[in-house]
């Protein structure tokens, strides 16, 4: 059985010591009532619900899974009760707008809680995460009438929401969507078609489910410019706004998946279902993508959260498990063997996980703060810069965190030896649950393409330099001699590599667009490792200059480990990327 | 549904063109009757049984799994029939000695067939692989009487064998084994204790199961020097040598695992079971380890085999799946989208898999040839050198092939996008089945420790240089200008790195043994990547100088891809390793 303890101290360190939310967050308009006490209370109460309500049904939810019978999905035992506790306490609406019943707290705090929930129970939290996406989308684009009818219930978690995008022939390429929407005389639309891979498409947690569906009018233009977005409830609302008659929405089956068994993944059939246009006709895709970016950050947090819980369990096991003796002599003379944590290689696995997890957590909270600035800062210029940084970092956040989630869950499973392969230790569930995050909400290959193809080039290419200049400033603030350039110097070296690689890539891509695809995934990795180095440098100096205590020592050692053992990967990646696209494109399809 | 086609052409290329078995293998004593026709026939017939008998029950075996009821294990539907066809045709005894009914063919050929079987059905083949290990062990150490009674049936596959090593508190550290063996007046021993993780510990494929059990006599010395090896049949043999009465051996339960569901992993209880000493008293561990090395090579082949079958299915999907358009313009104007193989990043995933799989296959067959030389070469010096090379390469073969098996199966799953996460495409099974190979038969961490702690230092440290000098010779044979040093030059560069790193490691380890553990896993990776570069260089030149056909072109491009994109990893690893052990050992256990 696995356990989970929310890393509260680490959150406090980042918020209060590294990012100084006292000056950067509490001062924003709307957050005047927030102070350290409020934040600490949210952390502690959030930890409690994750540790005591969500995590206890994580393994049982995996083993039992969702079931499908007679057109209905049943969630695993305990999910319904956990859902009620979780939503009634307001955890699913933490950063949602107060006007529809949300708590209106900073997105930064929501990131904290969301990471905890992913750690505690990934399959459980998916539904709430998607519902939040639906709320944001309706908030941004829906008519007042639709807002009036649906938002309060969605914010409260009384109903959940889904995003119905994928069809069997249309995944990455949503321009291929074939679901039809036919205008009705009353202003509504009749939707017909079949969507697949719909997370939470059906379940027994709530009495209604609100689908956001991409569909095409009969006379719509071909491709991506002919797709509109519709709100389609499972049950139509009666005159009181309560779920009434059925609406031609049915669940055809659920998928048998590698993991996240506690979350239903549905085939949803729409049979002349009544839907309502959200936003403008034929603008469905850009509207959806605006919000998908937020969902992508959430999925990044899935990787981070699973890495954290896997780490905790692996570290505990490494301290407890007695097996063989240390290479430098007996360390536990009273036992029949030493705990395996005496071994440098076991520590390498744990420190690798920790360096990725804690580095990613810093990037996560920094991104949360940018979201709050983008939303609430009084200065338009500041808001724009924050928005730019978020746009740039989103694909890196999603792809890198989820790649690391899978890699570190695998490393932590390895710490358990043979016991890690057995279901009952729970480690293999973390690996299986982490795997999907590299795939959904746009595969990590698509994220990498978004970074190199779009984010490097839009706005006259100003985005990457915006971030790089922040690093320049940081480096300039840490010259040799003074506070020491222990971390600033290797960061500067990595940044030089990344900057030159970026310029090289932008140049060669102008000649041959395939260079983008050839570089994309490895380039994103170089980008992420360098950005993580910036965050590790920030944390490293705070820990070095802070109190001499156990927490700071561990942080400092982990920072040093990151620079010594993990950052050097970028050298080989840089060299590999520069070999270019030609080799990749040379073979004929039939030669594969 | 997945498919599998044995890569016969690639095996032929390696055997006949790269390693020239006509001169190196067919000429060995005992193999006089082997020629290309025999080899081709074995390849084709082996392919047939793997494609038509084993692979069709791979997915169903995973979904159904083994079941445990009333003390008995039932294998999935179709396994029993497949087992009968497979063993009756002699595939499980291909390289086993003729004196007990084996085919006496070269180990090299067995490696070929074994890779195919791992591709076709990993869960199925485990039992036969372990049985072969048991045969080899009995052949080497058992009394003539035991050989007489057991070998023929084990060679024929009429019975299967197991290796009962692990106990719940004794995995990596077998010196902790507590199972007791008490000498009886008739020369036999009464064994009592509980073993866990016993692959094929019980099943319904054969009427008897022969366990090789590590146990300790009451007066045996503590630790590794007090462990003996016993043969314990599930059913005692009657006077005709047929299974008779029960022997106090029972299956307590089977594990629920991440993968290899078609293979039973058992808790086996011995309750005064009658056993027979194999080899010398208290020499159980060294005897077992001698043979575990062969089993480790088999498990390496599991990684390779799964990588191959995952590749085949991903390549087929990438050619078929239509989605989006190429970055350089429409490639499939008649379709609603282009096949995803037009994308450089999809090709990167496929070529990465292929470069690891085909490079590993070369290392595999080279190792097979060394095994045959070590066994059959008339010159003692040649046999010794071959033995040395096998000893050195075994941990690299096991750890690297299985790490790559998991990584490439994951990459190939990624090619499928969301469909790869669904059970019915079969890709996620490859990932789950590949995962165990990094763990069992000694975790890959243990393999790495074996490499740096033992293989670098034994025999006055002559092993690594033995291999490095072969590479030197190869490099010297490919100077610039003449046949071109396209591959020899980067190989020389990598070898320089590896050699210097080896010397550095051996030096620092003398001061601090923890340096070994700190370096081990990453060092093994550098070692493997460099060795693979040697094999890719060999293949690259053969392809470059051979006929101008599609096979050779693909091989040449893949060789270039390996040197350009994958080999450069060693730079970052080298730098990381040299940061040493201190950082890893600095934190207190409680700080993890």
CATH number of the domain where residue A180 is located? 2.40.110.20
Q: Which two tokens stand for residue B539?
A: 């293949």
Is residue A92 one of the residues assigned to a domain?
yes
Interface of B with A in 156-215 (CB under 8 A): 166, 169-173, 176, 197
At B557 the pLDDT is 98
Size of interface A-B (CB pairs under 8 A): 269
**SS3 category, A273:** strand
At B385 the pLDDT is 97
Is residue A214 one of the residues assigned to a domain?
yes
Give me the DSSP letters along A448-469. Answer: HHIIIIIITTHHHHHHHHHHHH
Q: Is residue A548 less than 8 Å (CB to CB) from chain B?
A: no
Whether residue A401 has pLDDT greater than 80: yes
Residues B120 and B243 in one domain: no
**For the range B485-494, what are the long-range contacts, defined as Cβ-Cβ under 8 Å and sequence gap of 24 or more?**
B486/B540, B486/B544, B486/B560, B487/B533, B487/B536, B487/B537, B487/B540, B487/B541, B487/B559, B487/B563, B488/B537, B490/B533, B490/B563, B490/B567, B491/B530, B491/B533, B491/B534, B491/B537, B494/B529, B494/B530, B494/B533, B494/B567, B494/B570
Residues A12 and A135 in one domain: yes
Is the Cβ pair B421, A439 closer than 8 Å?
yes
What percent of chain B has a predicted confidence (pLDDT) above 70? 100
**Where a domain ends, among A263, A282, A301?**
A282
Cβ neighbours, 10 Å, residue A309:
31
How far apart are the C-alpha atoms of B506 and A167, rounded to whole Å?
Answer: 57
Report residue A292's pLDDT band, with 50, 70 and 90 as the boundaries.
Answer: confident
Q: B302, B313, B326, B587: best mutation site toward chain A, by most A Cβ within 10 Å?
A: B587
Whether residue A495 has pLDDT greater than 70: yes
Whether residue B484 has pLDDT greater than 80: no
At A12 the pLDDT is 98
Is residue A482 one of the residues assigned to a domain?
yes
Report residue B247's pLDDT band, with 50, 70 and 90 as the boundaries.
Answer: very high
pLDDT in tens, A60-105: 999 999 999 999 999 999 999 999 999 999 999 999 989 999 999 9
Whether residue B483 has pLDDT greater than 70: no
At B292 the pLDDT is 86
How far apart are the C-alpha atoms of A362 and A365, rounded to whole Å?
Answer: 5
Is residue B376 one of the residues assigned to a domain?
no
Chain B residues touching residue A176 (CB < 8 angstroms): 323, 336-337
Picking from B176, B256, B345, the nearest residue to A521 by CB comes out as: B345
Is residue A265 one of the residues assigned to a domain?
yes
Chain A residues touching residue B557 (CB < 8 angstroms): 583, 586-587
Q: Which two tokens stand for residue B330?
A: 């429409």
Residues A232 and A267 in one domain: yes
**CATH number for the domain harbouring residue B34:** 1.10.540.10
At B172 the pLDDT is 86
At A520 the pLDDT is 98
Residues A134 and A170 in one domain: no
Residues A122 and A199 in one domain: no
Is residue B501 one of the residues assigned to a domain?
yes
Report residue B481's pLDDT band, with 50, 70 and 90 as the boundaries.
Answer: confident
- Across the range A249-266, mean pLDDT stands at 98
At A482 the pLDDT is 62
- Cβ atoms of residues B362 and B538 within 8 Å: yes
Q: Which stretch of DSSP H or E encloses residue B434?
A: helix B427-435
- Cβ atoms of residues A502 and A469 within 8 Å: no
**Is A441 a residue of the active site?**
yes
Of B305, B296, B397, the closest CA to residue B114 belongs to: B305
* Catalytically annotated residue among A428, A441, A486, A515: A441
How far apart are the C-alpha atoms of A387 and A375, rounded to whole Å?
Answer: 9
At A19 the pLDDT is 98
Count CA within 13 A, CB hemisphere, residue A172. Answer: 25
What percent of chain A has a predicted confidence (pLDDT) above 70? 100
Q: Which stretch of DSSP H or E encloses residue B253?
A: strand B249-254
Q: Is residue A511 less than 8 Å (CB to CB) from chain B?
A: no
Picking from B318, B327, B431, the nearest residue to A513 by CB comes out as: B327
Whether residue A484 has pLDDT greater than 80: no
Whether residue A483 has pLDDT greater than 70: no
How far apart are the C-alpha atoms of B404 and A267, rounded to whole Å?
Answer: 34
Is residue B564 one of the residues assigned to a domain?
yes
Tell me how far CA of residue A60 lies from CA of A65, A116, A126, A258, B421, in angstroms: 8, 19, 17, 16, 20
pLDDT in tens, B290-344: 888 899 999 999 999 999 999 999 999 999 999 999 999 999 999 999 999 999 9
Is residue B258 one of the residues assigned to a domain?
yes
Is the Cβ pair B585, A521 closer than 8 Å?
no
How far apart are the C-alpha atoms of A120 and A116, rounded to whole Å?
Answer: 6
**SS3 category, B236:** strand
Q: Is residue B35 less than 8 Å (CB to CB) from chain A?
A: no
- Cβ atoms of residues B121 and B433 within 8 Å: no
Q: Is residue B337 less than 8 Å (CB to CB) from chain A?
A: yes
Q: Which two tokens stand for residue A371?
A: 């979201």
* Catalytically annotated residue among B407, B441, B486, B515: B441
Count CA within 13 A, CB hemisphere, residue B47. Answer: 17
Picking from B344, B445, B516, the nearest residue to A584 by CB comes out as: B344
- Across the range B126-149, mean pLDDT stands at 96
pLDDT in tens, B220-233: 999 999 999 999 99
- Across the range A503-519, mean pLDDT stands at 97
Residues B185 and B253 in one domain: yes
Q: Domain span at residue B65?
A: 8-139
Residues B116 and B163 in one domain: no
How far apart are the C-alpha atoms of A172 and B323, rounded to whole Å?
Answer: 7
Lowest mean pLDDT among A4-18, A30-44, A196-210, A472-486: A472-486
Q: Which stretch of DSSP H or E encloses residue B301?
A: helix B284-320
Residues B576 and B457 in one domain: yes
Is the Cβ pair B345, A518 closer than 8 Å?
yes
- Across the range B401-416, mean pLDDT stands at 98
Burial class (CB in 10 A: 0-12, 13-18, 19+), B431: buried
Give me the DSSP letters along A181-217. Answer: EEE-TTS-EEEEEEEEEEETSS-SSSS-EEEEEEEE-
Q: What is the mean pLDDT of chain B?
A: 97
Give me the DSSP letters along A144-175. Answer: HHHHHHHHHHHHHTSSEEEEE--BTTBSS-GG
Interface of A with B in 400-459 (CB under 8 A): 406, 410, 413-414, 417-418, 420-424, 428, 431-432, 435-436, 438-440, 443-445, 448-449, 453
Backbone phi, psi, residue B206, to 5°: -140, 165
- How many domains are contained in chain A? 3
Whether residue B482 has pLDDT greater than 80: no
Residues B169 and B278 in one domain: yes
Residues A52 and A177 in one domain: no
- Closest-approach residue (CA) in chain A for B265: A422
At B418 the pLDDT is 96
At B269 the pLDDT is 98
**Where a domain ends, among B231, B263, B282?**
B282
8-state DSSP, A264: -
Of A441, A436, A109, A94, the closest CA to residue A297 belongs to: A441
**Where a domain ends, among A282, A310, A343?**
A282
Picking from A170, A319, A345, the nearest residue to B592 by CB comes out as: A319
Is the Cβ pair A518, B440 closer than 8 Å?
no
How far apart are the C-alpha atoms of A279 and A285, rounded to whole Å?
Answer: 11
Q: Collect all residues with Cβ–Cβ distance below 8 Å to A540 and sequence separation of at least 6.
A: A486, A487, A555, A556, A559, A560
pLDDT in tens, B371-380: 999 999 999 9
For residue A29, the distance in angstroms to the closest alpha carbon of chain B comes to 39
- Cβ atoms of residues B144 and B276 within 8 Å: no
Q: Is residue B239 less than 8 Å (CB to CB) from chain A?
A: no
Q: A312, A331, A418: best mutation site toward chain B, by most B Cβ within 10 Å?
A: A418
**For the range B29-35, what are the long-range contacts, defined as Cβ-Cβ under 8 Å and sequence gap of 24 or more?**
B29/B376, B29/B377, B29/B378, B30/B104, B30/B376, B31/B106, B31/B372, B31/B376, B34/B105, B34/B106
Interface of B with A in 352-381 (CB under 8 A): 354
Of A442, A71, A126, the closest CA to residue B418 belongs to: A442
How far apart are the C-alpha atoms of A419 and B380, rounded to whole Å?
Answer: 43
Whether residue A329 has pLDDT greater than 80: yes
Q: Which two tokens stand for residue B398?
A: 């096991």
Whether residue A263 has pLDDT greater than 80: yes
Residues B133 and B170 in one domain: no
Of A294, A302, A296, A570, the closest CA to residue A444 belongs to: A296
At A265 the pLDDT is 98
- Across the range A553-572, mean pLDDT stands at 98
Residues A203 and A118 in one domain: no
Of A151, A150, A140, the closest CA to residue A98 belongs to: A151
Give me the DSSP letters along B540-584. Answer: HHHHHHS-SSHHHHHHHHHHHHIIIIITTHHHHHHHHHTT-SHHH
For residue B55, the distance in angstroms to the closest alpha carbon of chain A comes to 20
Is the Cβ pair B345, A571 closer than 8 Å?
no
Picking from B318, B550, B565, the nearest residue to A591 by CB comes out as: B550
Q: Is residue B491 less than 8 Å (CB to CB) from chain A?
A: no
Picking from B349, B424, B592, the nearest residue to A318 by CB comes out as: B592
Chain B residues touching residue A583 (CB < 8 angstroms): 351, 557, 560-561, 564-565
- Across the range B407-416, mean pLDDT stands at 98
For residue A406, the distance in angstroms to the closest alpha carbon of chain B comes to 10
pLDDT in tens, B198-228: 999 999 999 999 999 999 999 999 999 999 9
Q: Is residue A123 less than 8 Å (CB to CB) from chain B?
A: no
How far apart are the C-alpha atoms of A370 and A377, rounded to whole Å?
Answer: 10
How far apart are the C-alpha atoms of B159 and B208, rounded to whole Å?
Answer: 5
Burial class (CB in 10 A: 0-12, 13-18, 19+), B238: exposed
- Closest-approach residue (CA) in chain B for A569: B572
């Amino acid at each position: 059985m696995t356990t989970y303890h929310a890393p509260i101290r680490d959150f406090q360190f980042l918020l209060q010591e590294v990012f100084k939310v006292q000056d950067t967050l509490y001062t924003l308009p709307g957050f005047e009532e927030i102070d350290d006490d409020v934040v600490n209370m949210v952390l502690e109460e959030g930890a409690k619900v994750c540790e005591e309500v969500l995590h206890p049904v994580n393994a049982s939810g995996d083993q039992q899974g969702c079931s499908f019978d007679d057109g209905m999905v049943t969630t695993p035992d305990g999910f319904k009760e956990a859902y009620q506790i979780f939503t009634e306490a307001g955890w699913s609406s933490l950063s949602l707008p107060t006007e529809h019943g949300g708590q209106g707290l900073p997105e930064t705090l929501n990131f904290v809680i969301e990471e905890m929930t992913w750690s505690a129970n990934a399959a459980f939290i998916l539904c709430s995460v998607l519902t939040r996406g639906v709320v944001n989308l309706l908030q941004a684009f829906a008519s007042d009438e639709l807002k009036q009818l649906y938002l309060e219930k969605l914010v409260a978690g009384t109903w959940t929401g889904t995003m119905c995008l994928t069809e069997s022939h249309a995944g990455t390429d949503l321009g291929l969507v074939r679901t039809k929407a036919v205008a009705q005389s009353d202003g509504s639309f009749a939707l017909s078609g079949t969507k697949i891979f719909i997370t939470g498409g059906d379940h027994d947690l709530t009495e209604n489910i609100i689908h956001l569906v991409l569909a095409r009018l009969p006379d719509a233009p071909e491709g991506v410019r002919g797709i509109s977005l519709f709100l389609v409830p499972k049950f139509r609302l009666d005159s009181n706004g309560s779920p009434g008659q059925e609406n031609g929405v049915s669940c055809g089956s659920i998928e048998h998946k590698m993991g996240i068994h506690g979350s239903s993944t549905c085939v949803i059939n729409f049979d002349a279902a009544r839907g309502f246009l959200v936003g403008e006709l034929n603008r469905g895709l850009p509207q959806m993508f605006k919000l998908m970016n937020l969902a992508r950050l959430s999925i990044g947090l899935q990787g981070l959260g699973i890495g954290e819980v896997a780490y905790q369990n692996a570290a505990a096991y490494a301290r407890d498990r007695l097996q063989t003796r240390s290479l430098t002599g007996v360390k536990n003379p009273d036992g029949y063997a030493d705990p395996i944590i005496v071994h440098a290689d076991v520590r390498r696995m744990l420190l690798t996980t920790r360096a990725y997890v804690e580095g990613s957590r810093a990037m996560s909270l920094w991104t949360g703060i940018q979201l709050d600035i983008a939303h609430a800062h009084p200065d338009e210029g500041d808001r724009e810069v924050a928005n730019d940084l978020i746009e740039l970092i989103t694909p890196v956040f999603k792809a890198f965190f989820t790649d690391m989630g899978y890699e570190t869950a695998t490393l932590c499973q390895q710490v358990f030896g043979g016991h890690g392969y057995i279901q009952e230790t729970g480690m293999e569930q973390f690996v299986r649950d982490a795997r999907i995050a590299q795939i959904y909400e746009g595969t990590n290959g698509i994220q990498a393409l978004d970074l190199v193809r779009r984010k490097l080039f839009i706005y006259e290419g100003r985005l990457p330099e915006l971030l790089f200049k922040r690093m320049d400033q940081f480096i300039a603030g840490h010259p040799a001699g003074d506070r020491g350039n222990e971390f600033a110097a290797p960061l500067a070296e990595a940044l030089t590599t990344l900057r030159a690689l970026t310029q090289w890539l932008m140049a060669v891509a102008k000649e041959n667009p395939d260079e983008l695809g050839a570089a994309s995934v490895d380039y994103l990795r170089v980008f992420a490792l360098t950005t993580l180095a910036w965050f590790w440098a920030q944390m490293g100096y705070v820990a070095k200059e802070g109190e001499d205590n156990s927490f700071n020592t561990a942080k400092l050692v982990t920072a040093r480990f990151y620079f010594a053992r993990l950052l050097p990967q970028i050298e080989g990646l840089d060299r590999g990327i520069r070999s270019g696209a030609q080799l990749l494109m040379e073979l004929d399809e039939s030669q594969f």
